[in-house]
Structures are given as C-alpha cells and as structure tokens.
Structure 1
C-alpha cells in the first residue's frame, strides 16, 4: 500500500497511544532508507495541522490528544526560583511545573501537559509547546570559550541563545542586543538565534522599553497602510443634524499631568436635588471603520501599552493624540451619555447620542482638587469651573456611598511612579497618590458604563460586557485561612459568597500595617475580569450589568461598544446582525481580554526593571518591609518604599526554621515569621539582568 499523509492519518486514528517512527515503518512494511526519508517528510508536513510530535518522539493526532490522553491546555507562569505553574485553560487549580521542565519553557508559553502525581502532589508534565510567547528578546552578548551566546534579560528562568561566531564578532561583548529566536531549547537541543539590533552598553529607559516590547512581542510601529489611512482622515469637525451641538457647554477634561490623549470630558448641572451629568467620550468609531487597516491593527493590539517614557498606541498618533483627543478649545466629535441622577445615586433618566463638544479646560487631577478645596490662584485661573467641580464632588460622594452600600469592593492597591531626570534616566520612586479628583472621574465613568450596558441588555442587542465572575469557594476558604493566620477572626462562608463578604474583610484591615497585603490577598482570591458577549455581572463592582464605554482611544473593546451602541440608537440592527454578531463578539472579547493581560504584565515588568536600576545604588541600605510570602527556601519581602519584592534566603535567618505550608509561615526555636509581619531588611545584592533582589534580615519589627 502506498504511504501518504492520508494513510498515516487513517493509521493514527486507530491508535490509543503515541506511535513511533519504527512502528509506522513496520505497519506499512517499509524498510528501505528512502522509505524512511519519505515517512519523515510526510510526518513533518502533518505536524503543521494534523498531528503532534509527542514525548520521546511519538506521534498522535491533534484532535485525539485531549480526548484520548486527557491532556490539559494552559499558560506557563514562571517563578523566579526556577519552577513554574500551569495556569489551566479549564479554570481548574494551577499545576506545579518542576524546574527540570521549566528549563525549556518561557513565561507565557501555551502548552499541553499531563497531570502527574509526584511525592503525593500534583504536577504538570509538559507534552507539547503549542505557542511560544517570545519571538525576539533583549540580552547581553557573552563569549564562552570559542562560542558566543546571548544571555536573555528579564526572564525569571534564565535562557541563553547560541549565535553564529561570525555574526557575533560584529558586536562588542557585554553589549545589550536584540536577538531573534530561530530555535527554542529542548532536551539535548540548545536554543539558537540571530542578532537583529545593537542597543549598546547602557541599560537606559529606551533599552527597558525594547526589553519589555520584545519580551511580550509588542508592536513598536504602525503599518504604512494604517499610517496612510490616518493621514487621509479629515481634520475639520462639522456640526450635522445627527449630532447634538454642545460646543457652548462648560465641559472639561481631568487627567494625569503626563496625559497626551484625552478620552473623556465631563459636565454637570444641578436640577433641584438631582444632578444632570454629561460624560462625553471621544468618538473613535467615527474615524475607525470596521475592516480598515487601522481597525485590523487595533484588534491585534487590543489596547495601548504604557511603558516608561513611551506609549505604544493602539491607534496611530494622528488619531490618538490629535483627531480623537478631546483637546481644550477645539471642536471634537463625541459620544455622550447624559444622565439625571437622584440623591440616592440612581439614574432616573438617561440619553445616549452623538455630539460635537468643545472642552473649555484641560485640568490635572491636582488642579481639580485644588479648585474643589478653594485654592485662590486656581479659582482665579478657572472661575467658571468652581461651581461645576463643587457639584461633581457632591455627586461623586453620593455615587461612592451607593456603590459601597451594594457591596462594591475597593481594591485600592498602593501604586508608585518613577521619576526621571532630564536625560530620561530613572532616579527615584515615589508613591502615586490617588485622591478625591481621581475618584470623581472614576465614579462618573463607572455610572456611564453601567447606564450604557443596561440600555443594551434591556433591548436585547448583541453586546460586549465587562464581566467579573464570583471567586471559587475553595479560594475564598483559603483567603479566610490566611486572614486567620494574620490574627483576624473571620467566619467561613456558609455556601455562596457575595461581594459584601470580601468587602467586610478588607474593611477590617483598613488602617493596619498589613492593609495593602490584605487587599493583595483579596485580589488574588478573585478571578480576573474579562470581556464577554454574555452578561454575568461584575462581582468586584457588585454590578449586575457593566461594560467599557469610556476609553476607545486606548481600548479596542470600547470601540466595538460604540459601534454597537450606534446601531442600537439608530435602530439599525438587522436579523443577520442578531444571528451572526454574538459569535464575532466572542472572538473580539477573547482577544481584548488576552491583550489586556499582556499589557498589565508588560507595564508591571517595565516598572520593576527601572526600580531595580534605582535600587542598585542602595546596596547596604536598610528599609522597612512586609512579609508577602513564606516558602521552604526563604521569605519574600516587599520593600514598602519601592513596592518591589526581594528574597531573604532561609539559610541566612538566625537559627533553624521549619516551613509551615498550611499557615504560610517559617517557625524557628525562638521566633516565627508569617505573612504580614513587618521587618527591617538590608539590600545585599541587586541583579538587574535576572530581576533578583537579595535581602538580609536586620530585625523583626
């Protein structure tokens, strides 16, 4: 019988286990050298879409894997101590990945794995890497004997990539370079790549942006097609019969001082004991048409990525910072959600429509706060904003009270910002203070998002919701256990958990030294919020119906929310739309959720790299910290001044200690260390390249 791709597939259909090359040759009575070459070639072709090269060289049909082998699909999450976790796609508890498996994996890889039991504990045995997260990366060029390698930076699992000697000699040793990975590490196979860019010897802010962008495969430029489309868009704003002319209204933006694009402007009018609130959002969908080059690129990006001193915009600069940005004293197309809100925080009337606005001022958060609390120089500079801002303060406080009453959880985690000198080099980390002005805008955006979502749900139109599922009961139980370990008396939930249960636990810790740790532990108990065409509510906000409507310049989901809203208010939904859109929106929702995770990871990584650079000059200095993790090998301490973790190895602690896994603590003869304990530590070593901070315990506070 002639052997072809089809006959191999038919043969594999009847096999319950992975089949090896020798077995295939024997089954088809093939023993010639050229037959073996032919079969190898056919198997290589089939690996593209039909079969998987299984462990130790066996082959199995792709669609058969999960059915017959019950394999688990998930994402790799690497830990700096050399092991990792498999974050399962099916939502089941994470699986431990031992260090021997992690040697061939990158953080973020998508894999198939078997569940194994080792020494009584569940582990993941990696069967196949389905998708590699890292395509290009930044590293240091090193020489070992007569061979050259690029040692990758900012990866918790260290990797080195072999590069050709002739090519490597074009660059100086110890230079930071960008390497494209051509072959990934496997057992008995070293990784191989080629250098595509030289970044020099100094790890500056630009290098950090390159490191993070390459690590997460972020787009550094827009396509020529998208840029060309953006340039052709008209800059003239026309007032038409389809849009409300609100150019005379006193509306304004409130943003961070560094903001370059302005998604939203707000206006308010007091009507008796009610407030008429206007939330104007940049009308991005007026410019970005479905299927255009800009639209396709925005879908792939999912959102804007904010790196230190650099933003990788979802939209071309002409749109993000010019045409769509609600700049002061310039007419702009907007999408408006107008709401009449009573003194209990209920929306009693609303209207959603296209408009033309003209922002009367561009305030920073600090300026807005100054006007609210009567700073004379600011009141003099913006006399027409004094009354509106006082009303906004009143309304925001009403909305906050209503939100708290229904059980909304405040995950107000401490944030930090990096200070840069005139050359763009980081020199200090300071707390990023969120105050009343931040809360005003936050509350107004939340009420607008809810109003829009409720309108679409009430009318039964296809839509993209922002959803947040209830946490699993076992995770809540584990959180209660941790709280008990911190000395809090919390009753276990009887059966179901509502947001008020979590809210009350956090309130117990407000004002205590471990407040930020408790907020972090509560956040870790939660599932991640995501986008979905199905409304299942938002647990964290205690909201029955929620969406993202307010940031279309930087979030692709919001662009589609606008498109769907426009269809709704213009009554343009067709029968075909009602049938086909849900499936399309599911794809968009999943893409936006995935890219949001990437953005969060990338932005956090970039901040950590710059913090490490600053801390390199602090070796030998002492800082207060809080224990955020207790493991068999040591204590993780968050340095409170810089909001970054370091490790105190267990063998550096005074005396002998045992690890109490259940209660997350280390117990010694004379003292014990548990989560939430305050300590004084000394910085012993900072390694920028491996992102590791070694600490020494000075005393327990």
Structure 2
C-alpha cells in the first residue's frame, strides 16, 4: 500500500476526526527532512479530490463530509448526474442551478443535499471542479456579424461555446471545427474559446468521421520520434536471438483471421496425441522484443492504450512498420513469438502447460471464410488448395467443441449477438449493412484464445508476480432484479436464492435461442452486467465463469497484452528482482486504469462511426418498408430494430389510432380504450420516415397499425 492509500485508509477509520498537516505528520512519524515531501503528497491528494481541506486547515475524506467525488455526465437540458468514483455510492442528480459551471466529463466534488430513496436518486450541488474533462470540443460553427458560437456535437455538452470574431481563425458558417476553451462557464455566462482547427464543411464527405476522430482525441499520425524509432529497428532476426529461443519454424503453425486483417498477432498449431489428448499451441507475436520499456514507442503505445477500429479506418497502437510488418505473423517468414503450449484432455481440462519464447514460420495465412467453407461445406477447391492442413482443421474443430462444452458446463455466458458491418464505397458512403457471420472457424479461434488467456492468468497468479488481469465483477443485485422483472414479461424466470451464478443466465440464453425475443433479452441482459476492465487484482470473470483470466493474445493492438508479455518474459528469464517488483506494484495499477479508459474511448468512437453510417445508409431509403422487432418501449414511443441491426424510433405521436399509455412494469404501450398493446419483442412493419445524420436519429412509422 503506498503513502496516499495509507492516508486515505487512516482518514476513513470511524474514530478519525479531521486533523491539520502537522498532526498528521506526527501520527505518521514523518521526520523534518521529509516534511516538505509529505505536505506535497497532501496537496496532490487534495487537488485529486481524494481528501478535502476544511476552512480550519484540517484534512478528511469526502464521504465523511457529506461530499462525493466523481465525474459529471451531462444532459442537453442543462442538468447532470454525478457518476461516483466509488461504485458503492449511487449516482447523484444535479439540477441546472447546482451545476455551478461544471460540464460533461468534468471531475468534481458534489455536496449531497437530498439523500434519495428507492425510487429517487440522491440530489447534490457541485462545490468544486477538480479537473476539466473537455479542453477541446468538436462542433458546428454558427457565425454572426461580430462573433460566433460553436454548437457541440456531443449533446451532453449543454452549453454552446462563445467565439469572439478575433478567435474564429477564418471559420465559415456551418464548418465543423475544434474549439479550445479559454474561459470556463460561470453562473450566467457561456464558456469562451478559440477555433484551433477547421475540419471542413458539415456537408463535405469525410468531415463526419473526422469530427468523431477529433471528438475522442484519437491521433491518426505518430510523433516523429516514434516513427524514427520504428524505422531504426532492424527487421532481420540475429542468429543469436533464434538460438536462445524454442525453434518452431518446422512446426505446422497457421494464422486464421478476417480477410481484411493486416495485424496478425496469433498463430495456432494442433496435434492429437496417442493417448487421446490434444497438444494445442497458441503462438503470439513477441511485440516486446521490438517495443522496449520506456522507449518513445512504448510511451506512445501506453498513451493510445489500444488500436481503434472505426468504420472506415484503423488507428493503430503501433506504427504500421511494426503492426503490419515485423510483428505481424505473415506467412513463410520467421517471426518472434511467445508460445503457450498446452496438453488438453478430452474433457477440455488443461493438464500441462508451458510458456516459451519462440521463433515460428507460419505455413499459411488462412481466412475465417475459407476455413469455415472447408469444415462446414467441404468445399472441394479449397480442400485441394489446402490439402496439407485438412487434418489439422478437423482436429482443431474437434478440440474447440470440447473446450466450448467445458465452458458451457461451468456456466460461461455465450452471447450470440448479431453484429453488423457497414460497407462503404470508395467515397466513404454507406452502401450496405451486413451481419457479421460468426461461423465455425471464428468460434474455433475464439475458444483457443480463451483457453490460452485462462491458462496464462492461472500460471502467473500462482507465481505471485504483480500482473494485469481482465476482470468482470458480479452484477449488482438491483440490476438483476430489474432484469428478472423484464424477462417475466416473456414467461421466463431466474433462480437467485443467494448469488446469481452465470450458469443461470447461460441457461436462459439457451431457452431463448432462435425465438423472436432472443436479441432484446440478450441486449437487456448485457446492460444488466458490469463492464469488464483491467485490474491488478484477480477478481475473476463473471461472464466467462472463469476464476483466472487475462488478455495475452493481442499485443499488437492492446497495451495490456504487451505489458503482461513483458512481465512473463522477465519471470521466465529470472529477471524480476526486488527493485523491479516495487516498480511493477507502483506502475501496474496506472496501466490498468489507462487501458480500461482507452478501451472505453475506442468503444465509444467505434459505436458512433457505425451509428453515423447506419443513419446515412437509411437516409437513402426514405419511404421503404421493413419488418422489425420492438427492441425498446418508452413513454415517448417504440424503438424498432431491423434485421440488419439498425434501430429507429416510432414516436408515440404517430400512433394515431388512439391514446397510448406507457405501462412501465410490462415494458409496453397500451391503448386506453381498446387495450391494443405494443410490447418488447413484437414483430412489426415499419416505413422509414425521416433521418437526422447530425443527431444519429432515425424515425419510423408503423405500417398497417389499425
């Protein structure tokens, strides 16, 4: 436990009464030579909001002073919610008058004014802004004679930004711009800013995606020093490096990826042993051989946290020379890897495993489609072309089924979501929306990566080495109770006498498979669960029903994986001494926090670019009729999801055959007189009525709703 943690724990004790800095220094036996550093730590903690200094110059933790630390989630109407850092606290409602200049994403301290009840959130007032969340904002410039305003793209930013004429930098009306805040809002004053980048006119091709890239602060280019470091790396592998590694170049190792993938970080090999066991090899690119600790490459990779896969481009974590070149397991060239070699019995149990630094030479670059066509359809042409691998594919398929059965037995939740891929033309315009096919080879690689990640996590846990785990905590009782009420409408129940076991949820998924309510129950179930994240503590993975889990298999595109490769290599080469242990214990929590945060950013940007292009696609189909399923019901209307996963709103005002009342308990709209009812899961016909690309909204009208 570091000094900050010790201070917080001490102040949280029941008997603690606020003390001044000298009293705290006495309690912690700080000698005179260290007083300056101790006071500096107190100042830092106060600036971070973890402790509070009173008018009497005494220190305490916020929760003992009726204060809560967290981030603001804004709303277009001016109010906000505090999302507390400590997840034991409930979200706090903050009225527009109590925001006191705070904006969406700001880190703040809030004083609780109303405690709240079962049905009502607690209410509070922002008393201090710890850190501003948006120094740069993307929006549309609206010009007038002597000044202008930037209307933020993010509706959670409820205030427009005032731009003096001298700070407009040539922006024209309806330009998409990036504005840097120079003056923050006060009670009756908007924020003020300077336009620092003009992205293009709101109607220009490409401006839409670029706006999202800037909104999430994603950097498409690498700093010069990072590119230079990548260029200076020698591609040729020295003989001395090959000689110190396990040489697997003669082994039949193949990669199986999407047809358009260029960063191939995993290869697999298989062998069925004479005793009926399987020898599975998962061979992962050894990125850490090239990206050394504390190099500019390493610092930039940590800053990015992960690669971001947008609808029309990839923003990689590493420069292309590494991600698509020397770290990618391209066929017929030697590549450095970390290999996990597992002996697995016919019940899916890993009986033996070892992790080795290795060198491989992939024998083929296979695609999911080709391998699936071989295994599912016995495609003659492909079977001839890849005849030398057919037996391997069959053994892989056999083992993946065994591994999947084992996961299902222990209750691992297997969401079979329909995911969509937006097809763009050369100009970047959406011309089609297709469902991703999750076929046999996709599942096969998925199973191999899962068992590899579990095996590595368990192995490293028992070494007691500081490590980064992929954790997924048990869901909140409150959310599960809501979910139970929801599925009751469809005639399903969950048994939860004590704690909910993931097996119950997996059993429910099996019951709903193929039924019209499958997609919506899948979606609501996922929303009821917590988000997975990175942590230095082994908390287990609820969704996978796994005691040990980590992310090991994608070091080209995830920094968490790259870092744990580094730790594993240090461990297997006996390079972890006391100094390194102390450094790791200090460093890893920050890396876990950073990679969890950048993952959320990537998810948000990916989702927004997909939604944007889906709305663009539907805007060309106004008046067309589709069949869909009611995916959500609110007081203001029905959300309908089409087969291609696109969702639109049927506003209640367009239901002209009567007066509809929202039945919150049964997730339905009921006509007052006739009792005609629209429920979640109902199949309906809709016509595309209207689209708003800027707001990512699609309006539908019901067809034949008499």
Q: TM-score range by the shorter chain?
A: 0.7 to 0.9
Contact 2:247 2:358 in 1 (8 A): yes
Q: 1:460 aligns with which of 427, 448, 464?
A: 464
Aligned pairs, how many? 652
Is 1:531 the equivalent of 2:520?
A: no
Q: In the TM superposition, what are the counterparts of 1:378-527 in structure 2 within 5 Å?
A: 378-485=382-489, 487-527=490-530
CA–CA distance in 2 between the matches of 1:108 and 1:643? 29
Structure 1 position 506, deviation (Å): 1.9
Corresponding residue for residue 249 of structure 1: 251
C-alpha distance after superposition, 1:10-57 (max 9, x if no partner): xxxxx99xxxxxxxxxxxxxxxxxxxxxxxxxxxxx99985799xxxx
**Structure 1: which 5+ runs fail to align?**
1-14, 17-45
Q: In the TM superposition, what are the counterparts of 1:559-598 in structure 2 within 5 Å?
A: 559-598=562-601
- Superposition CA RMSD, Å: 3.0
Corresponding residue for residue 541 of structure 1: 544
Going from structure 1 to structure 2, the CA distance change for 1:204 and 1:418 (only over 3 Å counts) comes to farther
Aligned with 1:475: secondary structure? Answer: helix
Corresponding residue for residue 325 of structure 2: 322
CA–CA distance in 2 between the matches of 1:82 and 1:513? 39
Q: In the TM superposition, what are the counterparts of 1:158-177 in structure 2 within 5 Å?
A: 159-168=159-168, 170-177=170-177
Going from structure 1 to structure 2, the CA distance change for 1:646 and 1:124 (only over 3 Å counts) comes to farther
C-alpha distance after superposition, 1:414-438 (max 9, x if no partner): 1111111122322221111111111
Corresponding residue for residue 62 of structure 2: 66
CA–CA distance in 1 between the matches of 2:148 and 2:98? 25
Contact 2:472 2:540 in 1 (8 A): yes
CA–CA distance in 1 between the matches of 2:366 and 2:153? 39
Corresponding residue for residue 87 of structure 1: 83
Structure 1 position 508, deviation (Å): 1.9
Structure 1 position 596, deviation (Å): 1.1
Q: 2:262 aligns with which of 260, 263, 282?
A: 260
CA–CA distance in 2 between the matches of 1:680 and 1:233? 59
Aligned with 1:73: secondary structure? Answer: strand
Going from structure 1 to structure 2, the CA distance change for 1:221 and 1:638 (only over 3 Å counts) comes to farther
C-alpha distance after superposition, 1:377-427 (max 9, x if no partner): 212222222121111111111111111111000122211111111223222
Aligned with 1:511: secondary structure? Answer: coil
Aligned with 1:550: secondary structure? Answer: coil
Structure 1 position 525, deviation (Å): 1.3
C-alpha distance after superposition, 1:280-322 (max 9, x if no partner): 1000111111111111111111111112222111112221111
Corresponding residue for residue 188 of structure 2: 188
Going from structure 1 to structure 2, the CA distance change for 1:249 and 1:169 (only over 3 Å counts) comes to closer
Aligned with 2:206: secondary structure? Answer: helix
Corresponding residue for residue 13 of structure 2: none
Corresponding residue for residue 685 of structure 1: 690
Is 1:112 the equivalent of 2:109?
A: yes
Aligned with 2:544: secondary structure? Answer: coil
Corresponding residue for residue 124 of structure 2: 125
Contact 2:159 2:190 in 1 (8 A): no
TM-score with structure 1 setting the length: 0.86
Structure 1 position 627, deviation (Å): 3.0
**Structure 2: which 5+ runs fail to align?**
1-16, 19-41
Structure 1 position 699, deviation (Å): 5.0
Corresponding residue for residue 35 of structure 2: none
**Segment drifting more, 249-258 vs 438-447:** 249-258
Q: 1:334 aligns with which of 330, 333, 337?
A: 337
CA–CA distance in 1 between the matches of 2:74 and 2:438? 31
C-alpha distance after superposition, 1:232-254 (max 9, x if no partner): 11100234332011112221111
Corresponding residue for residue 648 of structure 2: 646
Going from structure 1 to structure 2, the CA distance change for 1:491 and 1:371 (only over 3 Å counts) comes to closer
Corresponding residue for residue 34 of structure 1: none
C-alpha distance after superposition, 1:312-355 (max 9, x if no partner): 11112221111211111111111100111111111112221011
CA–CA distance in 1 between the matches of 2:122 and 2:606? 30
Contact 1:288 1:295 in 2 (8 A): yes
Structure 1 position 164, deviation (Å): 2.5
Contact 1:115 1:122 in 2 (8 A): no
Contact 2:140 2:202 in 1 (8 A): no
Corresponding residue for residue 613 of structure 1: 616
Contact 1:453 1:547 in 2 (8 A): yes
Contact 2:494 2:504 in 1 (8 A): no
TM-score with structure 2 setting the length: 0.86
CA–CA distance in 1 between the matches of 2:147 and 2:286? 56
CA–CA distance in 2 between the matches of 1:623 and 1:447? 41
Corresponding residue for residue 214 of structure 1: 214
Aligned with 2:217: secondary structure? Answer: coil
Structure 1 position 616, deviation (Å): 1.8
Going from structure 1 to structure 2, the CA distance change for 1:636 and 1:144 (only over 3 Å counts) comes to farther
Q: 2:71 aligns with which of 62, 72, 75?
A: 75
Corresponding residue for residue 26 of structure 1: none
CA–CA distance in 1 between the matches of 2:300 and 2:486? 44
CA–CA distance in 1 between the matches of 2:104 and 2:517? 30
